[in-house]
Amino acid sequence: MSIVLGCLVGFVAWFLARFLVAGIFTVDQNQRAVKTSFGRAQRVGSSTILDDPISESLRPEERDRYDYPQVRVIPPGGPYFKWPWERVYKVTVATQTVSMAYDPESRSANPQGAALEAVTKDQLNTGLTGQLRFRVSERNLYAYIFGVKRPIVHVMGYFISILRERIANFEAPAHASPAAAPGAGTGPEPASAAIGVSINDLRKNLRDINEHMDRECASSAARYGITLDASLITGIDPPREVESALAAINTAYNQVSSDISLAQASADQKLVQSRRAVEIETLKAQAEVEPLVALASQLRDLRANGPNSLSAYVRNTRLALLGKARRVFMEASHD
């Protein structure tokens, strides 16, 4: 009897240690957890990701494909308890930074993750360097844990495909061209058109490319449960065999741009000088006309005072002039 009682006590102790004590768990500060019961995640009613604002970036044809259910997220803290038939999945929601050339499936790809290769519109094989920041979206943990087998692989492939498509079809916006600057003449346009190299356009518009990538990757949280916080392309390097030729092209372009700027500055200076000369001559003419206009006004006023006023004014003026003259020529009378 004592043996049976001892076995029973031992079984109870083993059961408590194995299932009850071991069922207590905690969640760290940078973690979130999802609990499943018999393999089914605990859900929030019948709500799906389509009811969440993160699905607004999905295209209409994608909404049915990524219609994931919303699950109950266990926040940091504890202790929590789970039954033996329940399982807890913990994920880290801290922001992570990786090279955009990082390949989760092959560490030796993309020259050991140093640079990502992409082809430009003029068939230049360039190397892209930069960083990618991402974090697990706790608003779509179902997609990250259950929807995709290796979500990091999917997100990196998704990002790289969008980036390569953008590099292959990128064209500099009109406002970035020197020919389109306000006040520019028609001179710089042929020069910029003749030496327009796509890699130069890419280097000058890195900010536009980064903003485009942020917009295009906004749906990654609804697709794969990973939010891309930011992408930062820091370098675009051409192949070594065309580096010297590209440098020569850029040098020539800079020289042409400098000559055009100097010529335009000289023309603007001459134009300003011409305008100033016209203003000076106009002021001189006005200065000469102004006394005549004043004299005409005075004569009109004298004439209005009476018929003899104007004759008296002319006589007085003539006498003043005769007083200053040294020699006077008068018309002789034939009488």
pLDDT of residue 2: 72
For residues 249-268, give the mean pLDDT. 78
Q: Would you place residue 5 in the very low, low, confident or very high pLDDT band (cuts 50, 70, 90)?
A: confident
The yes-or-no verdict on residue 80 having pLDDT over 60 is yes
Q: Are 132 and 98 spatial neighbours (Cβ–Cβ below 8 Å)?
A: yes
pLDDT of residue 63: 87
Give the span between the Cα atoms of 107 and 101, in whole angstroms: 10
pLDDT of residue 243: 62
Percent of all residues in the chain with a pLDDT value above 90, rounded to a whole number:
4
Give the span between the Cα atoms of 217 and 57, in whole angstroms: 9
CATH architecture of 2-169+205-238: 2-Layer Sandwich (3.30)
pLDDT of residue 318: 75
Give the span between the Cα atoms of 282 and 129, in whole angstroms: 63
For residues 223-241, give the mean pLDDT. 79
Q: Are 166 and 209 spatial neighbours (Cβ–Cβ below 8 Å)?
A: yes
Task: Report pLDDT digits (tens) over 130-186.
Answer: 888 889 988 889 989 998 888 888 888 888 888 888 888 877 766 544 444 444 444
Task: Report pLDDT digits (tens) over 287-324.
Answer: 888 887 887 887 777 777 776 776 777 777 777 777 77
pLDDT of residue 185: 44
Could you tell me which of 44, 233, 286 has the C-alpha nearest to residue 142?
44
pLDDT of residue 19: 65
Q: Give the residue with greater pLDDT, 46 vs 332.
A: 46
60 preceded by a cis bond (ω within 30 of 0): no
Give the span between the Cα atoms of 57 and 53, in whole angstroms: 8
DSSP sequence for 75-132: PSEEEEE--TTEEEEEEE-S-EEEETT--TT-TTHHHHHT-EEEE-TT--EEEEEEEE
For residues 26-55, give the mean pLDDT. 88
Q: Are 132 and 228 spatial neighbours (Cβ–Cβ below 8 Å)?
A: yes
Give the span between the Cα atoms of 68 and 90, in whole angstroms: 19
